[in-house]
Structure formats: structure tokens, C-alpha cells
Structure 1
Amino acid sequence: MSLGTRARGFVELTRPGNAVAAGVLTFTGAFVAGAAPSDALVVVAAMLATVFATGAGNAINDYFDRDIDRINRPDRPIPRGAVTAPEAKWFSVALFGGAVVSALVLPVVAIAIAVVNLVALLAYTEFFKGLPGVGNVVVAALTGSTFLFGGAAIGEPLGAAVLCVLAALATLTREIVKDVEDIGGDREEGLRTLPIVVGEAASLWLGAVVLVVAVGASAVPFVRGEFGLAYLGVVVPADALMLAATAQSFGNPAAAQRRLKHGMFLAAFAFILGRATAPAGSLL
């Protein structure tokens, strides 16, 4: 196997698109919380910590999920032989180390969030993933916390609280849809995910209800007068996209979870636009 093929396998372990996107979400949290140019160092450190931690979590997830992935995701690096399982484990350890070093320059509250998230990432696949609904909630909380982490980096941990809630709820819906998509491999492995325990239809209806609550949360900044029409002009299409994806999940969960992800990023952009055009001094 060529060196380039192996290097590509290690990069794929991190899900680079997801890792970089998580770093962008951390920046979004800092920006929405009111980051100033003087906060550049801590914001960059928080972004790097998030990218490293997300990559590490994805790599260790592939390590623990290698048997399931032979059924659900045979093209991933370990099942296809680009990276061995021990290599994936130690690569993950190195990435976690990078996250720890990056977080050392951050305020105490941000470090506390980072520590909790690192522990949750390490424990997710081994302890939480197979518990009905619990693994979904953990992933949702981790996603939402990226915004709190960005705010905490500049000393405003609650500065992006509404965005945190919206992202966590939308992620919970997406995780439920993904479990429906992966039900075959999860059942083969003996996992007790939500769709396996309560059924696919019941799980999807629960996801739909959660998403409706998330859409309601997205209206809060406009109703409170913190964000104006520019925010509303972007968040409404984002909400519509996520609601349409939720309806689509009953027939095509694979396509639906991708559309949900796109809707979430569009909603995050709405918050950036809302903060950029908000009156000076307003804070979520």
C-alpha cells in the first residue's frame, strides 16, 4: 500500500470536513457571543482544540466501530485496510493531546467544557452509543457545546446559549435519523439504539417533535429584539429546510440527515449575520 493511500486513510479517520466544520461552529459561538479583535488568540486556540478533539473523537469512534463499519461503512479506512485498528487508536490519542495543549491558554470555564467534552468523546462509543437515545443526546450536547465553548473562550459562556440549544436539538433529530439509516448494522452488532427498541416510525416522530422545538428556539433572538430582519431572512429558510428534511426522513433517512446538516449550518450563518447586524451591546 502506498504512503499516499495510508496518509489519506489517517486524514479520513478524522472526518476532516466535520472536524473543520466543528471549528467553524466554535468561531461562530465566539462571534455571536461578542468576540473582539483582541480575542483572536483565544478564539484560534479554541478552534484548534475543537478541530483536534473532533478528529480524535471520530478516529476513536472508527476504532470501536470497526466491526459495525464492515457492514454499515465498508469504505471507511479500517474496514478497507488503509489503517489498522491499533494505528487508529494511537492516532486518536495524539489528536486528543493536541486538543489538550490547545486548550491550555483558555479561561477556566472553557477548559472545564473541554474536559467534559473530551471525557464524553472517549466514553461515547464504548458506553453510550448502544443505550437507546442516550448516545444521541450525548452527541447533541457535544455539538451544542461547541458554541458555548466559543463563547467561554472570550469569557461569555452563555453568549450563544440560544444557538447552543437550537444546534443541540437539531443534532438530536439528525442523530435519530442516522440511527434509522444504520439500523441494519446496529442490529447485527447487537446494539440497542432508539429505532431498534421503539421502532423506526416512533423514533422519527420523536425526532420531528424535537426539531419543531428547535425551530421555535430559533425565533427567540428576533422576538426579543436582539436580531433583526437580516437574521429572520436567513433563519426562516434554514428552518424550512430542516423541517422538510424531517418529513423526508420517513422515506429516505440517508438523504434527510444530509439535508438536516445543511439546514443546521445555514441556521448558524443566520446567527452570524444576526450578530453582525445587531445593535451594539446586544448579547444573546
Structure 2
Amino acid sequence: MYCAAVDGDDVRETARGAVELARPGNCVAAAVLTATGAFVAGAGDALVPAAIAAATTAFAVAAGNAINDYFDREIDAINQPDRPIPRGAVSPRGALGISGVWFAAAVALALALPALALAIAGVNLVALVTYTTVFKGTPGLGNALVSYLVGSTFLFGGAAVGRPEAVVVLGLLAALSTFAREVIKDVEDVVGDREEGLRTLPVAIGERRSLWIATGSLVVAVVASPFPYLSGTFGGAYLALVAVADAVMLYACYEAFADPTAAQRRFKYGTFLAAVAFVAGRAVLLV
């Protein structure tokens, strides 16, 4: 009975580790961004493609997170020792297998979407795999790739319902703000990255200079953020909410100079508020 209990505990810990590999919060957030892109583009009668696109995004992000943890397992042993692989909940080979299943699910779902959406999904899946293996340790390029991936979730949602052009500006705004957040994250992880020989932006040019670059990227996004309202894409609710989101993210950049970990958490609140602003701004025009 004792052995059975131990085995049961092991199974539960492995299952928990598999779920943690996916980062469910990130998967849901990315799916919501895709759904937001579809909604802003005017999903209308195309609710099924919008739902498929959101599910595809969730599986792709889960797969990318798992493969990232596989390649980052030695760095995570320093920076994030409680993650599934460093703590022994999931073996490196197990993480690869789990990632493969989720990649297969994403591909299977994407095949049901229009050609442009399928092309975006294909590019993004390749980008997710190459991020850790090729671009992550290249100053700025890894950040830019992640920024593209986040921005493209809006484009993917728009393409799924046949109107990608309606969400190009939102994708650009999301990419610029994501670049700022990713640089802050690299500053937070600079100790482990330096020990593993990764040449992230803070390692290459210093933490303070990197944070100024992050702030500059966000300032561009903030200056451009009223454009969807001025162009008539969104109503007044967007302008009010995005102003709050801009303020939260700007403060996070300021906070990052003293506490990048706290700034990371605050920045996530700002990006959530920005997504709410997109939905509310569109909903107002539909009433």
C-alpha cells in the first residue's frame, strides 16, 4: 500500500509538472488575444474559425513553453529551480514528448483555418522552436521574436475570420509593449543568463541601457495608442481604458530600474487592461 501511495504521488506530481510546463495562464492569455483579434476584425458569423484559432494558439503556446523549458533546464536550475524539470517532476525527455503532443494538436487545428491563418500558424510554430535554440541568446533578436509572436496573435485571429488588415495596428502596439516587457524579464534573469553564457541584451550592453531601450519601445506604443480611436476603429471606452493601461505600463518601466521582478508583475496588469480596452472599444461601436 505504501508503494502504491508513493506511485500515486509520483503520477500526480508528473501530471502537475506537465500542466506547469504549459503555463496555463500564458496559454489562456494568448488565446484571449487571438479571440480579441477575431472580435475586433468582426468575427460575426465566423465564430467557429475564431474559436479554432484561439484553441490553436493555446496549444502552440503550451508546446513552445515546454520546449523552452527543455532547452532552458540548466538556466532554470539557477533562475527558476521550482520549475518542473529542475525539481524533477518531469524528465527532459518527457518535456520533449509533451511538447510534441501539443505541437501536433496545434497543427491539426490550424489545418481547418483559411490559408493566411494557416501560414501565420506555420511561421509561428517554427519561430517558437527556433526561439530558444537560435535567437534567445542573441541581443535584442530574441526579444523581437517574442514581440512578433505576441503581436501576431491579433493578426492570426483577424486572418481566421478573413479580415487581418483590421488588426494590424493592434498587433504593432502589442509587439512594442511586449518588447519592453521581455527586456525587463531579461534584466530580471541576468544572473543565470550570464552564467550560462547567453548574450541577452542586458548581458551585452548592461541592465540600465537595456531598460532605457525597453522604456523607449513602450513610449512609442503609448504615443501611437490613440490611433485606433482617432481612425474610428474603436469608441471612447478604448481611449479611457488604454490611458490607464499606458500609465500602468509606464510606471512598470520606471519601477524596473529598482525592482524588475515587481515591474514584470505590474506590466502584466497593464497588458491585460490594454486587451480589455481593445474589446470594450470595439463593443461600444457594435451597440
The residue that corresponds to 2:26 in the other structure is 18
- Return the TM-score normalized by structure 1: 0.96
1:237 is the counterpart of 2:244: yes
Q: Deviations over 1:21-75 (max 9, x none)?
A: 1111100000011111x21111111011100000000000000000000000000
The residue that corresponds to 1:122 in the other structure is 129
For residue 227 of structure 1, report the CA deviation from its aligned partner.
Answer: 2.1
1:140 is the counterpart of 2:147: yes
What is the percentage of aligned positions where both structures have the same residue? 59
Look up the SS of the partner of 1:195 in the other structure: helix
In the alignment, the residues of structure 2 paired with residue 183 and residue 264 of structure 1 have an alpha-carbon distance, to the nearest angstrom, of: 23
Q: Contact 1:162/1:217 (CA < 8 Å) preserved in 2?
A: no
The residue that corresponds to 2:197 in the other structure is 190
In the alignment, the residues of structure 2 paired with residue 132 and residue 227 of structure 1 have an alpha-carbon distance, to the nearest angstrom, of: 36
In the alignment, the residues of structure 2 paired with residue 3 and residue 183 of structure 1 have an alpha-carbon distance, to the nearest angstrom, of: 34
The residue that corresponds to 2:69 in the other structure is 62
Letter of the structure 2 residue corresponding to residue 16 of structure 1? P
1:209 is the counterpart of 2:209: no
For residue 225 of structure 1, report the CA deviation from its aligned partner.
Answer: 3.1
Higher relative contact order (CA closer than 8 Å, sequence separation 6+): 1
Could you list the structure 1 runs, at least 4 aligned residues long, displaced by more than 4 angstroms after superposition.
Answer: none
For residue 268 of structure 1, report the CA deviation from its aligned partner.
Answer: 1.1
The residue that corresponds to 1:94 in the other structure is 101
Q: Contact 1:68/1:185 (CA < 8 Å) preserved in 2?
A: yes
Q: Contact 1:231/1:273 (CA < 8 Å) preserved in 2?
A: yes
For residue 76 of structure 1, report the CA deviation from its aligned partner.
Answer: 0.1
In the alignment, the residues of structure 2 paired with residue 137 and residue 242 of structure 1 have an alpha-carbon distance, to the nearest angstrom, of: 18
For residue 3 of structure 1, report the CA deviation from its aligned partner.
Answer: 1.3
Q: Deviations over 1:176-205 (max 9, x none)?
A: 000000000000000100001111110000
Letter of the structure 1 residue corresponding to residue 33 of structure 2? L
For residue 83 of structure 1, report the CA deviation from its aligned partner.
Answer: 0.2
In the alignment, the residues of structure 2 paired with residue 227 and residue 70 of structure 1 have an alpha-carbon distance, to the nearest angstrom, of: 45
In the alignment, the residues of structure 2 paired with residue 279 and residue 107 of structure 1 have an alpha-carbon distance, to the nearest angstrom, of: 25
Look up the SS of the partner of 1:80 in the other structure: coil
Q: Contact 1:165/1:217 (CA < 8 Å) preserved in 2?
A: no
In the alignment, the residues of structure 2 paired with residue 40 and residue 224 of structure 1 have an alpha-carbon distance, to the nearest angstrom, of: 26
Residue from 162, 169, 173 that aligns with 2:176: 169
Unaligned runs of 5+ in 1: none
In the alignment, the residues of structure 2 paired with residue 163 and residue 275 of structure 1 have an alpha-carbon distance, to the nearest angstrom, of: 12
In the alignment, the residues of structure 1 paired with residue 140 and residue 238 of structure 2 have an alpha-carbon distance, to the nearest angstrom, of: 32
Alignment length (residue pairs): 279
Unaligned runs of 5+ in 2: 1-8
In the alignment, the residues of structure 2 paired with residue 63 and residue 25 of structure 1 have an alpha-carbon distance, to the nearest angstrom, of: 26
In the alignment, the residues of structure 2 paired with residue 104 and residue 217 of structure 1 have an alpha-carbon distance, to the nearest angstrom, of: 35
The residue that corresponds to 1:81 in the other structure is 88
In the alignment, the residues of structure 2 paired with residue 250 and residue 95 of structure 1 have an alpha-carbon distance, to the nearest angstrom, of: 37
Residue from 35, 49, 53 that aligns with 1:46: 53
Look up the SS of the partner of 2:166 in the other structure: coil
1:27 is the counterpart of 2:35: yes
Q: Contact 1:242/1:263 (CA < 8 Å) preserved in 2?
A: yes
**What is the 5 A alignment of 1:142-157?**
142-157=149-164
The residue that corresponds to 2:269 in the other structure is 262
1:220 is the counterpart of 2:213: no
- Return the TM-score normalized by structure 2: 0.95
In the alignment, the residues of structure 2 paired with residue 225 and residue 80 of structure 1 have an alpha-carbon distance, to the nearest angstrom, of: 51
